[in-house]
Structure 1
Amino acid sequence: MDLWLTLAVMAGAVFLFVTEKLRVDVVALLVAVSLLVLGVVTLPEALSGFSNQATVMVAAMFVLSGALQRNGALIAVGDLLARIRWKWLFLLVMMSLVAGVAAFVNNTATVAVFLPLVLAATTANRWAPSKFLIPLSYISQAAGVCTLIGTSTNLLVDSMAREADAVGFTLFEFAPLGIVFVGICMVYLMTVGRLLLPDRGVPGSATADHIGRYVAELLVAEGAAVIGRQRSEVLPDGSNDVTVLEILRNGAAVRGDDVRVEAGDRLLLRGLWQDIDATRKSMKLKFDHVARDLDGDLNAERLHVEAMVAPGSHLIGHTLAGMRFGHTYRARVHGLHRRQLGIRQPLDQVPLHVGDVLLLDAPVKAIADLRIDRGLIVMGSRAQRKVDTTKATLSAIVMAAAIAAAALGWMSIVASALLGCVALVVLRLLDPDEAYEAIDWRVILLLAGIIPLGIALQKTGGAVLAADQLINLVGHYGPTATLAAIYLMTSTLTEFMSNNASAVLLVPIAIATADSLGVDPKPFLIAVAFAASTSFATPISYQTNTMVYTAGNYRFSDFVKIGMPLNIIFLITATLLIPRFFPF
């Protein structure tokens, strides 16, 4: 019965991860609580994720990475990029720098730092950012597998392996194979990838406009031409692909074929921004002029600014109304762009997600506040904060010392990372509040909540059952074929759900498969770690993909076209090389 209950919880978790009906951290906690209530795991086992080495280590690495980011240690890198005037050299240098950083700094934080730098440099040179942003995401993922601390997935696999089978990895044990993956990724993106990357134009030029499709909320003023029209009659001929999503009245959608537009209603429209704006002008609709006290000087120059909700942003999960966005940033939201535009409510009531882009109407003076806010990434030219050379240097030294102490065997990587965090606070390179803010607590809760599922799979025999089925299918072809199957399973799952969740599901199966075949589990664990950390074929598979998807104005098919061949190349490479570096 425990086995069937575990499989039912796992199936529900996979469904929720893939459909994104709930946030991944909420799903993970729901999994842990469900297994505890059903009696599959004990209370200590349900809470073991919070004391797990991987969870603690990931939190510590967020703090160490946050110090580098906050003190401007990487801004000099942006200055170097800005001076390059050849596209091929810019791409090569950018990927080399990102690879060097992402091997030791969380790759999501790395992309968050490099994204505005690349946008600013490409726009200044009149190059299409879409030619460079997918490579930025892909190389950060490939570099993350070079060290044990490069991604949270590597740490998670290591921790689960140590607890289950006393098999672990050293800090640089991944490096030989990881460097090969980075080299292959760079060669592919410099050759075939360059031909496949789309040209979406230069922001602000005649060949490009605002990013993607927006949802805008427009007020029907007295005397507007649409008053009295039914929903199907609202848009005039020639409105291109603008769509009426809802008619909002008193904050709620009104539906029905006989509903007619009234003065004071709001129309929720979706389309390219230039089409929405043309429709607004032709129909004499207005942006709702909320927060009139923000007007200030009516003659002051105002700008449209596109700002992305950054990973780990304090805005995530909150609504514009709930956080009094207009007063906080002295800006009004005119439109919202989201990867999945299933918005059917007033914009100020929509909980924000990572990767959302807000089209803001703001005075020039307010732009500076937007640029320094860590929760937003301004998509246009982004002024950089002044670098505190002393703090930036000391932050880099602390990070290097923490890595060196673990690499030389003086102490465990967890101990050295925690000591590094303490050093940052004691040296006042970060204050305690900044250290807490640097941690992406959604990732921590995801790890803590999903680890009990791996324990349940091992306790109930679910992992052995899956391993037996896998061996029945491909085991007679030998351990190499089985390794390829595990890599393919992990890679496929990761394209549609959290990489950490897919690793938790596959690690017990990998260990059970190795036991059944009577071989060393390390090659199979390496396959899980590498496959879960390199997700190229969809924009929803990894946070870095989601960030560049929005910023580069890509289409879903761009990732399939460019990422799928790279996934296949990595699968073949892993199948051939993992047994050479980690014999069975």
Structure 2
Amino acid sequence: MTSGCGSPHLRNRAGTMMRRPVAAHGDEDETGDDVELWLTLAVMAGAVVLFVTEKLRVDVVALLVAVALLVLGVVTLPEALSGFSDQATVMVAAMFVLSGALQRNGALVAVGDLLARIRWPWLFLLVMMALVTCVAAFVNNTATVAVFLPLVLAATTANRWAPSKFLIPLSYMSQTAGVCTLIGTSTNLLVDSMARETAGVGFTLFEFAPLGIVFVGICVLYLTTVGRVLLPDRGIPGSETADPIGVYVAELLVPEGAAVIGRTREAVPGDAHADVALLGILRNGVAVRGGDAVVEAGDRLLLRGLWPDIDAARKALKLRFDHVARDLDGDISAERLHVEAMVAPGSHLIGHTLSGMRFGHTYRARVHGLHRRQLGIARPLDQVPLTVGDVLLLDAPAKAIDELRVDRGLIVMGARAQRKVDTTKATLSAIVMAAAIAAAALGWMSIVASALLGCIALVVLRLLDPDEAYEAIDWRVILLLAGIIPLGIALQKTGGAALAANQLINLVGHYGPTATLAAVYLMTSTLTEFMSNNASAVLVVPIALATADSLGVDPKPFLIAVAFAASTSFATPISYQTNTMVYTAGNYRFSDFVKIGMPLNIIFLITATLLIPRFFPF
């Protein structure tokens, strides 16, 4: 344990725990410690509020936490910056690069070809889950879903199956498979790093595997039996059975002679188009207030509805899209397509507006519609900050599709031919990934060293150029890890973790360590449903370590509970990025995740409580 950590306990060279001696002026030191404790708890409370409300991005919140603790004097400068040199941060960045090479070079496109050949829904589901498990155990699960999502959509649409029957299993399996190895999720790496730093306890590459495989088996069994009954049928995209929640907001210009000129808000778009709702009237970019507002030429109308209904209303009312950028028209004889593209987790588009990033000129495409779960939009579409899961309906020339597909910030969801695969680069990328994992598994070098060596090999072999390697890293996750680690240090130094552990032990400790383990798992799982999985792990790891210390038992079972609970979050669409991705693509409702995910959360809680002590004895 590093000397800067300042835990209430220190490890001697033999590895045993020693109490820190009490200072001569105990009262003064205790008063100072109390002040630092309350300051730490205040910072943590503020972080929890910001994580839950999402007023700021999680990486910004993490950096605010680190800076606040430094300015308040709770942590030293080396401690505040320790997250940037932490092996978890470096490891996660390296794994993003290794995963990015597989995705960019098309190493997984053959998987899509295999899925497209299957004609039985039950077999398709089983094969999809098996493939996702094999990939997500070693590749970041968000990247895994980003690759599989368009493949599953294409295959299900071609077979006339409802995607909603398969996309929740895609998300759930990617999460469950991630707990099978140390590198399956960034959360596993974070828990391992914090445990090594504060308690000298760590995990090997495949130490999670026995319990993880049990979880995978339970998830497969649940999704192929109970899940098949609970999974909703939201219809096939483009068919008459499609569920009407997959609606868009479109911004249409009112030209001279349009049928809506002179109508009041209540009369637009009219009885003939009752399935289309008017969200607002924009005049000079500002919403016109009042129910008696009258539409004028030059206004823009925000209409909400299914795209065929909006298009029908547009034609009937003689509205049009505002082609303000005529230079985007290009060859008017060229084939143009409507393309659905989702804003991916970690996308560089998140938080930016279409106008601010000059989206049309960057992608040579116009945005005709915006789909998101909350459609209370009252401003021009090009002024709406984008968020993860937003789906843009783009009008683009056919030749622009390839550029859209290779952009990491967007996931093209249209059922169109995939880009060609460079077989040599794809094969070499897979070999480099396998070699990095094998070197660590065989004990030849640490996983950090082997992953960094793999990244260097990718660049030297020109499987990725340096710019592509940097682009493959989700810097929001890196900054989150680096910024939030000092909070764990502060909780250890000030005794905040011990305080929470004592409260937990007072509540359930008299029932034994197994009951306390269940409480730690439940606490982590509940927090993860409402905030970042990494953030919840950072908050609970110090508590888990202090709890194990107070009970006088091995901390590993409690750390495993935190890692598994934080990495398997099923009950809400906002609890995990993969849930958010399929939420939009599958036209799910919020209640679908509660109905399907809550029982699975409970099953995993019971399973973890019973099996963790068997695999990792107290």
Tell me the TM-score range normalised by the shorter chain.
over 0.9
Tell me how far 1:232 sits from its aligned partner.
Answer: 4.0
Query: Which residue of structure 2 lines up, in the alignment, with residue 360 of structure 1?
Result: 394
**Structure 2 residue 37 is matched with structure 1 residue 3:** yes
SS at match of 1:516: helix
Q: Higher mean Cα deviation, 20-29 or 99-108?
A: 20-29
- Deviations, residues 234-270 of structure 1 (Å, cap 9, x unaligned): 4423544544333222222233456443321222233
SS at the partner of 1:286? coil
Q: 1:238-317 to 2 correspondence within 5 Å?
A: 239-240=273-274, 242-256=276-290, 259-317=293-351
How far apart, CA to CA, are the structure 1 residues paired with 2:305 and 2:82?
47
Q: Secondary structure at the match of 1:465?
A: helix
2:548 touches 2:558 (CA, 8 Å); kept in 1? yes
Task: Kindly state the Cα deviation for residue 82 of structure 1 after the two structures are TM-superposed.
Answer: 1.3
Q: Does 1:409 align with 2:443?
A: yes
The answer to which of 22-31 and 282-291 deviates more is 282-291
CA shift for structure 1 position 233: 4.3
Q: Is the 8 A contact 1:246 1:344 kept in 2?
A: yes
Q: Give a deviation string over 1:172-194, Cα, whole Å, max 9, x none.
A: 10000000000000011111101
Q: Pick closer, same or farther for the CA change 1:393–1:303 going to 2, 3 Å.
A: closer
Q: Mapping of 1:103-252 within 5 angstroms?
A: 103-208=137-242, 212-237=246-271, 239-240=273-274, 242-252=276-286
Q: Which amino acid aligns with 1:203?
A: P
Native 8 Å contact 2:243 2:587 kept in 1:
no
Alignment of 1:420-431 (within 5 A): 420-431=454-465
Q: How far apart, CA to CA, are the structure 2 residues paired with 1:446 and 1:141?
A: 19
- TM alignment of 1:423-572, pairs within 5 A: 423-572=457-606
Give the number of aligned pairs: 584
Question: Which TM-score applies when normalising by structure 2?
Answer: 0.91
Within 5 A, what are the aligned runs for 1:72-83? Answer: 72-83=106-117
Q: Secondary structure, in 3 states, of the residue corresponding to 1:520?
A: coil
Q: Secondary structure at the match of 1:311?
A: coil
Partners of 1:62 and 1:301 lie apart in 2 by 36
Cα pair distance change 1:223/1:143, threshold 3 Å: same
Partner of 2:13: none
Deviation digits for residues 15-59 of structure 1 (CA, Å, limit 9, x no counterpart): 111111211111111211222222222221111111111111000
8 Å CA contact retained: 2:191, 2:538: yes
Equivalence for 2:25 = none
Q: Is the 8 A contact 2:132 2:144 kept in 1?
A: yes
Residues 1:99 and 2:148 are matched in the alignment: no
Q: What is the rounded CA distance, in whole Å, between the counterparts of 2:292 and 2:101 in structure 1?
A: 58
- Partners of 1:233 and 1:392 in 2: CA distance: 57
| Per-residue Cα deviation, 1:153-211 (whole angstroms, up to 9, x for no partner) | 00000000011110111111000000000000001111110111111122222322787
Aligned mate of 2:426, from 384, 392, 396: 392
- CA shift, 1:538, in A, is 0.7
Give the partner amino acid of 1:435.
Answer: A
What is the alpha-carbon distance in structure 2 between the residues aligned to residue 163 and residue 330 of structure 1? 49
More deviation, 550-559/320-329: 320-329
For the residue of structure 2 that corresponds to 1:335, the secondary structure is strand
Q: Secondary structure at the match of 2:55?
A: coil
- Structure 1 residue 357 displacement after superposition: 0.3
Aligned partner of 2:27 in structure 1 is none
Shift of 1:301: 4.2
Amino acid at match of 1:12: G
Distance 1:473 1:462 in 2: 17
**What is the identity percentage for the equivalent residue pairs of Structure 1 and Structure 2?**
90
Deviation at 1:140, TM superposition (A): 0.5
In 2, the alpha carbon distance for the partners of 1:356 and 1:496 equals: 19
Letter in 1 for 2:234: R
Residue 345 of structure 1: SS of its match in structure 2?
coil
TM-score (norm 1): 0.96
Contact 1:211–1:550 (8 Å) recurs in 2:
no
- Please tell me whether the aligned partners of residues 312 and 439 of structure 1 are also in contact (alpha carbons under 8 angstroms): no
Superposition deviation, residue 572 in structure 1? 0.4
C-alpha displacement at 1:399, in angstroms?
Answer: 1.1
Indicate the SS of the match to 1:306.
strand
- Show structure 2 runs of 5+ residues with no match: 1-34
2:359 partner letter: F
Larger displacement relative to structure 2 (61-70 or 211-220): 211-220
**Structure 1: 5+ residue runs without aligned partners?**
none
Counterparts of 2:161 and 2:207, CA distance in 1: 39
SS of the equivalent of 2:303 reads: strand
SS, match of residue 421 in structure 1: helix
Answer whether contact 2:235 2:242 (CA < 8 A) is retained.
yes
Is the CA contact 2:97–2:469 (under 8 Å) kept in the aligned structure 1?
yes
Task: Say if 2:234 and 2:243, in contact at 8 Å, map to a contact too.
Answer: no
Structure 2 residue aligned with 1:30? 64
Q: Distance in 1 between matches of 2:163 and 2:170?
A: 10
Given the alignment of the two structures, is residue 86 of structure 1 paired with residue 149 of structure 2, yes or no?
no
CA positional deviation for 1:395: 1.3
Amino acid at match of 1:270: R
Which stretch of the first structure deviates more once superposed, 229-238 or 336-345?
229-238
Residues 210 and 273 in structure 1, CA contact (< 8 A), matched pair in contact too: no
Residues 51, 58 of structure 2: 8 Å contact kept: yes
Q: What is the identity, as a one-letter code, of the residue corresponding to 2:136? A: A
Offset, 1:230: 4.2
2:104/2:406 contact within 8 Å kept: no
Partners of 1:458 and 1:230 in 2: CA distance = 63
Aligned to 2:6: none
SS of the aligned residue for 1:274 comes to: helix
Q: Which amino acid is 1:433 matched to?
A: D
How large is the RMSD of aligned CA atoms in angstroms?
1.8
Cα distance in 1 for partners of 2:394, 2:255 equals 21
SS of residue paired to 2:271: coil
Q: Mean Cα displacement is larger for which, 210-219 or 565-574? A: 210-219
CA distance in 2, matches of 1:139, 1:433: 31
Deviations 1:368-397 (A, max 9, x none): 433343332221213222222222222111
- Asked if 2 retains the 8 angstrom alpha-carbon contact of 1:218 and 1:286, the reply is yes
Displacement of 1:503 after TM fit? 0.1
Corresponding position: 1:574 with 2:574: no
1:33-52 equivalences under 5 Å are: 33-52=67-86
In the TM superposition, residue 432 of structure 1 has moved relative to its aligned partner by 0.5
| Amino acid in the other structure paired with 1:582 | F
Q: 1:405 to 1:297 in 2, by over 3 A?
A: closer
Instruction: Classify the secondary structure of the residue corresponding to 1:29.
Output: helix
Inter-partner Cα distance in structure 2 for 1:41 and 1:354: 33
Is contact 2:145–2:578 with CA below 8 Å preserved after alignment?
A: yes
